[in-house]
A and B are shown apart, each in its own frame.
Chain A
């Protein structure tokens, strides 16, 4: 028997096959990174007395069924909401908040710890408006925290949080966590939603 060499397989069409697969995956790929606004719902508690909060410490935001905004009894445009909320939170009316840069108006909030933003929407409010308002309110908190973090640690709050979640970040995470906690205590996010 003559020894036959195995015939060589023609690999010329390999590129075609690979292209076919490539195009399939290109088409099916949705590089999805889910991101959004994180919120925490209040647990259901029965028969708890609502805490008594002074009227001046509440920043009421009302959203009606026609997507109109009523802030502290005044009609407001969405673009002005962030500034109004920041001013309210940073007011520091009772003087205990030494890092507040607000006007110390005695008729506005006492300090960031006591200041509560109350958001009420109607059933007919559209989701996009609600998200816009939520976004602006979160932005108000983030702005204040950024300024505070910048003053204390020379980095913005958002950047520090990104560092905390970054596995490749080389710094000391426990210290970073403590720093973040401190800022969160100084400007706690007290955003309550009225149930309807």
Chain B
């Protein structure tokens, strides 16, 4: 019996924290690898609609992004009408052709046919503007498009 009593006075040994940096570094590397820094600073509201028949858009380097939506709170001086954003600034429908040409010029020639235009449009935008964008894209022969959406049931679109 004395055998068991011996430990009573002894304290719990402290848990070694020597491997804590290793664990933290492991997490750090995971997040460093998984991080995608935003390419564009959005000046518009960009609340994407929901859809459930989505296809993944991989090969990020082969995607050209066109944003559209109402100017966000800090840019109210641009009005409340839906605007297009290309790269980091507001743009007009007429600028799309130049934007596509610039994007194409920055890619290798053999990749140009695989370029996709991703339309990231706020869910409250009007189709009139989208129609104009699509017409503009047809003119420059950028025919592959993708309506970027969030994954979810369409009933979330109300």
Contact = CB atoms under 8 A, between A and B. Distances in A.
Nearest 5 pairs of A and B residues by beta carbon: A123-B128, A128-B123, A25-B31, A36-B148, A135-B51
Interface string B125-137: 1111011001101
A35 B56 contact: yes
Given A18-B21, A34-B148, A44-B139, A26 B31 contact: yes
Nearest to A36: B148
Nearest to B65: A34
Contacts, number: 158
Nearest to A31: B34
B121 interface: yes
Contacts of A131: 49-51, 123, 147, 149, 154, 157
Interface of A: 11, 14-15, 18-19, 21-22, 25-26, 28-44, 63, 78, 121-132, 134-136, 138-139, 142, 161, 165, 195-196
Interface in B39-84: 49-58, 60, 63
B16 interface: no
Interface string B15-34: 00100110011011001101
Q: From DSSP, what is the main secondary structure of chain B's interface residues? A: mixed
B121 A127 contact: yes
Contact of B131 (A21, A123, A136): A123
A22 B28 contact: yes
Interface of B: 17, 20-21, 24-25, 27-28, 31-32, 34-38, 49-58, 60, 63, 116, 118, 121-128, 130-131, 134-135, 137-139, 141-149, 151, 154, 157-158
A139 B123 CA distance: 20
Contacts of A127: 49, 121-127, 130
B37 A28 contact: yes
Contacts of B63: 34
A135 B50 CA distance: 9
Nearest to B48: A36
Given A37-B54, A126-B124, A15 B49 contact: no
Given A30-B36, A127-B126, A40 B143 contact: yes
B157 A37 contact: no
A34 B49 contact: no
Contact of A130 (B31, B34, B130, B135): B130
A13 to B, nearest CB: 10
Given A22-B27, A78-B154, A134 B51 contact: yes
B146 A36 contact: yes
A37 B147 contact: yes
A128 B124 contact: yes
A29 B27 contact: no
Nearest to B150: A35
B72 to A, nearest CB: 17
Given A123-B127, A123-B128, A139-B53, A35 B148 contact: yes
B8 to A, nearest CB: 33
Contacts of A129: 157
28 contacts: A15-B17, A15-B24, A18-B24, A21-B28, A22-B31, A34-B57, A34-B60, A34-B148, A35-B148, A36-B51, A36-B148, A39-B146, A40-B145, A43-B141, A43-B143, A44-B138, A44-B139, A63-B127, A78-B154, A126-B123, A127-B121, A127-B122, A127-B130, A134-B51, A135-B51, A138-B53, A139-B52, A142-B53
